[in-house]
């Protein structure tokens, strides 16, 4: 993962130098099994993993499910804490293991700690720190995947024009890693390179170069002996993309290597428009669902069906969760994705690793608590079973209109509807709701009148639809009116539009010039990218047009914006840029 980074801060903590030296001494002496001693600070330090790794690669990778990424940490540039996370601790891995994960991927960027000239030596202190973190994870009975991470785009990408230098540096790096971890238990896996990319190269050249790297990686590790003789080795496609052609290329490399201890890896971040909310990707719709089904079917057919295990080394959404910014993806739609991907994982027989960039997303690395426990409950539930969802997680009641019956369509996913609750009160079928054809759930006008109470703007009540298995689906009853936007003058650094949301929630923004062409930096679509070009600020009652959008506008041309809300309402607005100045005015209401 290259592009999700939190604001940096500089808190630093971790074990002292003596503890690290003592750990290194244990490795040299060859202590293994469950042997443990106390570090100078009294903390027990285990020398090896107690994981019993199955002999078959397919069984071993299956035992790694589910997996988790220590993202934005050892892969941060230039140092471990540079991207806002505290230093990794053994307690972190103890938490991950207790939360049900069976393996961790530890991405490492080596560039800032490796000489750029021959013999391309890795700084000894950094190598020791990497080993310390790996050993902590192994000691907590986790499988570990260790890799070369952002080096892929920092210097490996230059291979088309600097072939010999890049290959020599790559080979030297893996030679040093293989030597340092030569006697580590088989629960440690090596991953050749993360998301390999090659600048200014044709598809055929990219395939050839990646094959060369993967083959060289394989040869170096196997020839280093010790535990590396039968260690599981993870090989990627170009960019780690699950495209059929790229997976076919990797499959061909694996067949030629003729090694039973090889694992294929790809990444999956969902249908791009949905993953970042662009091009109208406001819902987890049929296109997004088909994209997921097709990708996991390709993994199964290309690799798993032929006896090659698959490790999906990064899984998630590109724009969600991010607690530092307004949510790009509507919550219920995100839950549908996580529920579905867990099911697809089990059907395909692959292992998936949640990409966790740190405190602003899933696990708060300071408190070692989930930032959003309810989200994690859905993710965990998807590991073993299906949960029902619905067409949406909100029922909107327009305040200026009389209340009428409203409904949602249930996606049962093999479950059976068991009833509807408001807190501890079970609603009465026939009086409060009606279920048509087992899937169409309609709330009566009477129930909605009672639930909406004084009809204040926003969420008036939260219901739970419960099913025969899995988690309940929440339905919010929301009172709203048409949002109102006001005049504003600003500049291209940002335009902050005063906005009365009146209980509604912004879904996306359309942008057009008078001739019908699309305005904005992403001018291949009328729907601009959430947060990158516009952002709602609900607490302060504004919509912020971002500099990336404003600076891309054609000077002197009136641009019509259409703000689409999840209630189904649309509000039009005009902006015009003149030099560095920008003005905004409401447009006539849509009939």
Q: What is the residue-wise DSSP string for 8-27? A: P--------HHHHHHHHHHH
Other beta carbons less than 10 A from residue 459's beta carbon: 13
d(CA 340, CA 344): 6
Token pair recorded at residue 362: 């899933």
Contact 236, 194 (CB under 8 A): yes
Q: Is 450 helix (H, G, I), strand (E, B) or coil?
A: helix
Contact 341, 383 (CB under 8 A): no
Token pair 């920008």 is found at 582
Contact 145, 234 (CB under 8 A): yes
Q: Is 398 one of the catalytic residues?
A: no
Nearest one of 362, 368, 363 to 94, comparing CA atoms: 368
Nearest one of 416, 214, 247, 256 to 348, comparing CA atoms: 247
The active-site residue, picked from 80, 191, 195, 529, is 195
Strands 103-106 and 67-69: parallel
Q: Is 333 one of the catalytic residues?
A: no
Token pair recorded at residue 500: 């009365």
Strands 389-390 and 534-537: unpaired
Contact 508, 280 (CB under 8 A): yes
Nearest one of 73, 134, 26, 8 to 365, comparing CA atoms: 73
CA 106 to chain centre: 15
Measured torsion, CA atoms of residues 374, 376, 381, 383, in degrees rounded to the nearest 10: 170
DSSP strand E in 367-430: where?
A: 369-370, 389-390, 394-398, 406-411, 417-422, 425-426
d(CA 328, CA 334): 10
The active-site residue, picked from 314, 330, 333, 398, is 314
Nearest one of 312, 266, 297 to 67, comparing CA atoms: 312
Contacts of 336 (CB under 8 A, 6+ apart): 284, 389, 411
Residue 462 DSSP symbol: E
Q: What is the residue-wise DSSP string for 302-338? A: HTGGGT--EEEEEESBTTB--TTS--SS-HHHHHHHH
Residue 187 DSSP symbol: T
Cα angle at 354 between 156 and 80, to 5 degrees? 55
Other beta carbons less than 10 A from residue 329's beta carbon: 25
Contact 575, 520 (CB under 8 A): no
CA distances from 386 to 336, 350, 372, 405, 459 (A): 11, 17, 20, 29, 27
Which residues are marked as active site? 195, 314
């Amino acid at each position: 993962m290259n592009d999700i980074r939190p604001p940096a801060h500089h808190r630093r903590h971790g074990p002292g130098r003596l503890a690290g030296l003592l750990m290194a001494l244990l490795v040299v002496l060859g202590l293994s099994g469950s042997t443990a001693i106390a570090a100078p600070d009294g903390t027990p330090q285990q020398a090896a993993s107690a994981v019993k790794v199955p002999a078959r690669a397919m069984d071993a990778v299956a035992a790694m499910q589910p997996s988790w990424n220590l993202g934005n940490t050892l892969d941060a540039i230039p140092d471990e804490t540079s991207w806002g996370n505290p230093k990794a601790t053994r307690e972190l891995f103890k938490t991950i293991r207790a939360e049900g994960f069976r393996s961790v991927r530890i991405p490492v960027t080596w560039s800032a700690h490796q000489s750029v000239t021959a013999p391309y030596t890795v700084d000894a202190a950094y190598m020791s720190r990497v080993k310390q973190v790996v050993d902590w994870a192994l000691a907590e009975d986790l499988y570990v995947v260790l890799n070369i991470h952002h080096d892929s785009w920092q210097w490996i990408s230059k291979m088309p024009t600097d072939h010999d230098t890049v290959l020599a540096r790559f080979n030297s790096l893996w030679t040093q890693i293989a030597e340092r971890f030569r006697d580590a238990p088989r629960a440690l896996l090596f991953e050749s390179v993360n998301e390999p990319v090659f600048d200014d190269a044709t598809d055929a050249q990219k395939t050839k170069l990646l094959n060369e790297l993967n083959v060289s990686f394989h040869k170096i590790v196997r020839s280093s002996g010790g535990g590396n003789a039968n260690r599981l080795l993870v090989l990627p496609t170009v960019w780690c993309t699950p495209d059929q052609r790229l997976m076919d290329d990797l499959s061909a490399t694996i067949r030629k290597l003729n090694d039973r201890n090889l694992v294929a890896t790809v990444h999956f971040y969902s249908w791009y428009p949905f993953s970042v909310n662009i091009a109208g990707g406001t819902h987890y719709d049929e296109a997004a669902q088909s994209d997921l089904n097709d990708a996991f079917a390709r993994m199964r057919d290309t690799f798993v069906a032929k006896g090659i295990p698959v490790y999906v080394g990064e899984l998630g959404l590109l724009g969600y969760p991010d607690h530092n910014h307004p949510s790009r993806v509507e919550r219920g739609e995100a839950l549908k994705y996580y529920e579905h991907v867990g099911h697809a994982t089990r059907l395909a027989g692959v292992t998936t690793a949640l990409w966790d960039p740190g405190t602003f997303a899933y696990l708060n690395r300071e408190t070692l608590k989930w930032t959003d426990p309810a989200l994690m409950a859905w993710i965990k539930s998807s590991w073993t079973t299906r949960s029902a969802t619905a067409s949406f997680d909100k029922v909107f009641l327009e305040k200026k209109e009389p209340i009428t019956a409203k409904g949602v369509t249930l996606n049962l996913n093999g479950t059976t509807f068991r009833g509807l609750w408001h807190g501890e009160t079970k609603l009465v079928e026939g009086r409060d709701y009606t279920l048509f054809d087992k899937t169409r759930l309609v709330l009566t006008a009477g129930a909605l009148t009672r639930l909406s109470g004084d009809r204040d703007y926003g969420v008036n009540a939260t219901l739970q639809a419960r099913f025969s298995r899995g988690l309940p689906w929440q339905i919010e009853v929301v009172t709203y009116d048409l949002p109102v936007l006001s005049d504003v003058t600003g500049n291209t650094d940002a335009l902050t539009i005063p906005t009365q949301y009146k209980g509604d929630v912004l879904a996306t923004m359309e942008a057009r010039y008078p001739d019908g062409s699309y305005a904005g930096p992403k001018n291949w679509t009328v729907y601009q990218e959430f947060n990158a070009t516009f952002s709602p600020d609900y607490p302060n009652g504004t919509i912020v047009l971002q500099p990336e959008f404003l600076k891309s506008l054609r000077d002197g041309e009136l641009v019509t914006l259409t703000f689409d809300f999840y209630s189904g309402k649309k509000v039009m607005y005009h902006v015009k840029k003149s030099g560095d100045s920008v003005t905004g005015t409401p447009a006539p209401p849509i009939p």
